[in-house]
Amino acid sequence: MNCDDIRALLAARADGELGAADSLRMETHLGTCSACTDVATRHDAVVRTLRQGLRAPALYMKAPASLSERVLHTVRAEAQAKAGARPQASPVRARPRAESPWQRLAGWFTTPTRGLGLGLGAGTLAAVALGVGVLVGRPDTVALTAHDITASHVRALLGARETDVLSSDRHTVKPWFNGRIDYAPPVTDLATRGFPLIGGRLDYIDGRPVAVLVYRSAQHPVDLYVRPEAGADTEPALRTERGYQLLHWRNAGMGYWAITDASADVVQAFARAVRGS
């Protein structure tokens, strides 16, 4: 890749749309070209600022309770006008109290003689989309974190900084994090399960230092990012980012992200080993 190629792909890199091969070529170029590195650093800073801004709760407001009723009335009025009928004066038809406004709206669209079958106008559809978007629109913070972890993993592999502490002894790796982060990550030797411990390092995810435990499966590095994470325990959820396989789960107040360039079967087996199952 030349400089023009790199700069043209910065947006795709930020959106996690590059494949593993292109990601490696880009990071290799950035490691040798100070001009492109400067451009990429400034680009990443802008993207990071935007992501942090999008996570601000102040950007999102819960829609008023009356919104669903107004949307429902607008849908019915336009549908009846299309059919040549007089709109009802009351915006809400009497229904059993156990049925929510959004359930009634869904029922309206799925009734064969109503809704879309009568040809709703663009204005009505826009109102419906706006109402639903206001209520359920949220930034996908899991996707943003997955993107950051993938970028961190690639940087570590290409930057010759896979580990800060190189040791297969968990009693050496775990104490190394003392004083460097404000929590103690659980460190397990998984050699008997086919995933020997290589060491550990610190990285920054979502603006804070995070413990990364480095394992290996045959010739494939497997990084395990561990950090405090609020919420109930969850089962591992698989996703793919730039050709890398990631698994995320929560257990006992800790969030775990495993990432590797190996197959999904490998990262799932690794997660089972970490969880002791």
- Phi, psi (5° rounding) for residue 164? -95, -30
**β-strands 208-217, 197-205 pairing:** antiparallel
Selected residue with higher pLDDT from 55 and 178: 178
pLDDT at 76: 84
The pTM of the full predicted model, rounded to 2 decimals, is: 0.55
Selected residue with higher pLDDT from 60 and 167: 167
Helix (H, G, I), strand (E, B) or coil at 244: strand
Q: How confident is the model at residue 210 (pLDDT cuts 50, 70, 90)?
A: very high
Q: Taking the CB of residue 204, how many other CB atoms lie within 10 A of it?
A: 10
Average pLDDT over residues 249-263: 96
pLDDT at 274: 96
Distance CA 277, CA 45 (A): 40
Selected residue with higher pLDDT from 100 and 271: 271
Selected residue with higher pLDDT from 236 and 143: 236
**238 has a pLDDT exceeding 90:** yes
**256 has a pLDDT exceeding 90:** yes
**Run of H or E residues at 272:** helix 264-275
- Alpha-carbon dihedral sign for residues 263, 266, 174, 234: positive
pLDDT at 268: 97
- Phi, psi (5° rounding) for residue 261? -95, 5
Distance CA 27, CA 170 (A): 31
Express each pLDDT in 111-163 by its tens digit: 554 444 444 454 444 444 444 444 444 456 888 899 999 989 988 888 767 89
pLDDT at 77: 84
Q: Please tell me the least confidently modeled range out of 48-57, 129-138, 210-219.
A: 129-138
State the number of CA atoms in the 13 A half-sphere of 77 facing the CB.
13
The domain spans of the chain are 3-55, 141-276
Q: How confident is the model at residue 9 (pLDDT cuts 50, 70, 90)?
A: confident
Distance CA 75, CA 105 (A): 9
Distance CA 188, CA 277 (A): 13
The average confidence (pLDDT) of the chain is 80
One CATH from 3.40.50.2000, 1.10.10.10, 3.30.200.100, 3.40.980.10 for 141-276: 3.30.200.100
Average pLDDT over residues 65-82: 81
One-letter identity of residue 75 = V
Distance CA 73, CA 89 (A): 9
Express each pLDDT in 14-49 by its tens digit: 777 777 777 888 888 888 898 888 888 888 877 777
**183 has a pLDDT exceeding 90:** yes
Alpha helix (H) residue ranges in 63-179: 66-82, 101-110, 122-136, 141-158, 170-176
